[in-house]
Every structure is written in structure tokens, then in C-alpha cells.
A = this chain, B = another copy of it.
């Protein structure tokens, strides 16, 4: 192909600010933030308008150059990094970062794909509204990527995944057409729900350029507690107790393992362990409601009272201030960082039916410990919706490389248990290029066949994010 002309045509459309070709400029776009995936691209496109995206896609389609859409580049599965062996461009949505509209009566926000999640949250908050997608990468992750990966997070339990927030989408198709689907409607049964097809499709079916999200009332009272609990079965019982009072008050129900708590305390000595007893299981419970008052405090006291009586909770501390709330949350939020500091580590983002969580954690722990003696099993995550980050840290004083050389085997050992319990091998991180090899065994047969049919119908030339979701030999 004539690369010079290709770049020239794109530069005419995007302007000199809208295209990067120097290796030193494109480097950060070709590598993910964990530096696990590195690919190559001819150029990084940085359009500022939906029309520019559409025009750029048309040029790429004509030259048969594949496009890797990229948001904040916070994927944990290499979903936004080009491969090494194809002719590709990265299309960064970062410069499409306008909040087009906030409507307080409708509780909606209309915004472009490149808006950073935290900026969207702040804009909503200023309008008295709440965008409760809470993920650790929210300072970098962008709305387009969040929708394209159907992101989850701490508050999924109550508000659902990103999918549940999306009222409308604007999407550029594989042939460079613009789907204007930014309707601000709660109910609309007029033909196929096209937006649902693009949500979670990881940039393989279209490029999301803007969205309308449904917002919630901003909580004016919030209460957080950290609880020490004898086992996971009892943790499920505690979840049930909260749900049987006011399921809507429950905003997060997050699990920390004993080992994970120990790691955080040793890696972050400034954090003072706030309970009087250690326990096999810790749960962070966050309650929130839009109304002010001490209703949540009373609710906590009622439920924890019942829980102490049933010996479901051994010890608990309620945050007495905003600072203390943030401190309690850090025990959960620093799980990933403390594991990173402790050495090489492997992430398993899995889900099982909620009732199977105790069984899953026990069996997966046993499987890992017997396969790799000394391995540090540090599961944590979203117990309330069945999504556990079953992470594993290398044995102390060992070579991390040896550990990582066994990473596929260790992941397979965990996956085997997930499979037997009818769970999912990727609850919220998606497939990207890390897990596409697993698709045939987990989603093979009719499922993968239907996915391929949809891919071929919407992107017949495989221009959009090739090598993601589908295993390499699928095209």
C-alpha cells in the first residue's frame, strides 16, 4: 500500500494536530498501562468530531487498514492495543471530550466518547446528579471505552453495568456511516435495540463517538462499614440481611480476603488496621440514599445488630467522617496495588452464581495452592454481584518470571473451577487479546457462530479492532 498517500489523505481530514506518526509520539498508544501488550501502528489518529471519525474510517476502509479504537487505554486485556503483525492505526477518541448537555429534569448527560469518567462524574455532581460507575481507573478511563467494554465496578450491585446507563449512542460504522441514536428515552421498542449490540463489543462492530447516559439522584447520605466475618457463607447471609431491609440503600458490598488485608497492611503501613479482630473474610458495606438524615445509620445498626446476634459478623467499624470513609475504602482499593508491590501477579476476573461464591473460592484456592506451593491467593471484589477478582501473587522471595511462565496454567486451574460452577471467565474486563484463545472452549458452537455472523454482517472486511474477542483463526 501507499503509506505516504494514506497519511496524506488522513492529514487532510484530521489536520496536523489530528495525526501522530513519529514513533516517540505513538509509543504510549501502542503499549497498555500495565506494559503487558505492545503492538505497532502506522499512525495514531486523533479526530475531534464525529464527522472526522467517519471520514477517517472511510479512508482506512479504502486502504484496508485496520483501526484500533482507543479510549483511556486502561484495558486489562489488551483490548485497545494493536497487534504486532498487521497494518493498523490506533484511533484515539481523547480529543472528543465535550460534555454536550446535562438535563436535570430528565436526569441525563450527553457526552462525547473521549470524556474521562471522573470529569463526567464531576459534571453530574455539580448538577446534583450521580453517575455511579465507580472503577479504579476512573481518572483515566473514557466514556467510549467504558461503554465499549460494558464496564462494571463497585456499584454494579445496585446500578448495573455500564449497559444499564446507556439511553442512546452515536456510532461510526465500519463503512464510515454515522448512526445517530442519541435518544434520551427510557422506553423505546422500535425494532432491534442497536445500542445493545455495540455496548460491550470492544470496538469490533463500530466506533462509539457519543452517548446519552441516565443519571441517578446524588446521594446526600452515605455510610460505610468494614466488617470482619467468619466465612463467605456468612458474608452471603449479611448480604441477604441488607437486601431484605432496603436493597436500594445498598450501594457496594465488597470482599477482601484475609491474605489481601495482610498484604495491604504490610505494603501501606500508614493504613491502620481498624478492627479488633482479624478474620478470614472482610466486607466493605456502603449504604447511600438521596435523602439526608440518619436513616442509614439506623439501618446499619439494625442489620449489624441482627448480624452480631447470628454470629454473622465478628467485629465491625462504621466510618465517623469522610476521611474515615475514604480510609476504610483504601483497604479495598489498594488490593491491586499492594499485590503489584508484592511481586508478579496474575488476575482472574471471574463470576459465578452468587450462591456458588463460597464453593468457588474454596476450590480455586485449593487448586492453586496444590499446583504452585507458596502461591499467595488474594481474591477480592464485587461479592454482591458474583464477580470475584481471583488474583494470585508469586511466592515471597522467588523469581517472578518463573511464576509468570506458569500464568496460563494457573489461570486454567482457576477457570476449571469456574467452568464447573457455570461461571464466566471474564465478568467485567472483557476479552481483548488476552482471553480470545479461551472463546472456543467457553463460548464455542452456536454462540461463537452467531457472534461471527454478526461481526461479518457489520464489519465484513474485519477493519474494526481485528484480533480482539475472536481467536486469530476465526477470520
Contact surface of A with B, Cβ cutoff 8 Å: 103, 105-108, 149-150, 152, 156, 160-161, 163-164, 173, 177-181, 183-194, 196-197, 199-201, 205, 216-217, 236, 240, 243-249, 289-291, 351-355, 382, 385-387, 422-431, 435, 439, 442-443, 446-451, 453-458, 469
> Beyond the given A108-B353, A191-B431, A246-B248, could you list 9 further A-B residue pairs with CB under 8 A, ordered by the A residue number?
A103-B355, A183-B424, A187-B351, A187-B424, A190-B425, A192-B454, A193-B199, A246-B290, A456-B457
Contact of A386 among B187, B244, B422 (CB under 8 A): B187
Quick check: A186 and B156 within 8 Å, CB to CB? Answer: yes
User: What is the copy number of this chain in the assembly?
Assistant: 2
Residue of B nearest to A149 (CB): B189
Contact of A200 among B192, B423, B427, B442 (CB under 8 A): B192
Q: What are 23 A-B interface contacts by the 8 Å CB criterion? A: A103-B355, A106-B353, A160-B164, A173-B450, A177-B446, A179-B450, A180-B446, A183-B424, A184-B353, A185-B352, A185-B353, A186-B385, A187-B424, A189-B200, A190-B439, A191-B451, A192-B469, A193-B199, A194-B450, A197-B197, A245-B289, A246-B290, A450-B458
Taken together as a complex, chains A and B put the C-alpha atoms of A52 and B201 apart, in Å, by 32
Quick check: B443 and A191 within 8 Å, CB to CB? Answer: yes
Given known contacts A184-B353, A355-B105, A423-B185, A191 and B428 CB-to-CB distance under 8 angstroms: no
Quick check: A291 and B246 within 8 Å, CB to CB? Answer: yes
Nearest-Cβ distance from residue A163 to partner chain B, whole angstroms: 8
Nearest-Cβ distance from residue A351 to partner chain B, whole angstroms: 5
Contacts of A205 in B (CB 8 A): 192
Quick check: B106 and A184 within 8 Å, CB to CB? Answer: no
Contacts of A243 in B (CB 8 A): 217, 290
Nearest-Cβ distance from residue A160 to partner chain B, whole angstroms: 8
Residue of B nearest to A423 (CB): B185
Residue of B nearest to A449 (CB): B177
Residue of B nearest to A168 (CB): B422
Taken together as a complex, chains A and B put the C-alpha atoms of A270 and B264 apart, in Å, by 68
Residue of B nearest to A218 (CB): B244
Quick check: B190 and A431 within 8 Å, CB to CB? Answer: yes
Contacts of A201 in B (CB 8 A): 192
Contacts of A177 in B (CB 8 A): 446, 449
Quick check: B431 and A189 within 8 Å, CB to CB? Answer: yes
Quick check: A386 and B191 within 8 Å, CB to CB? Answer: no
Contacts of A457 in B (CB 8 A): 453-454, 456-457
Given known contacts A177-B446, A193-B196, A457-B453, A351 and B246 CB-to-CB distance under 8 angstroms: no
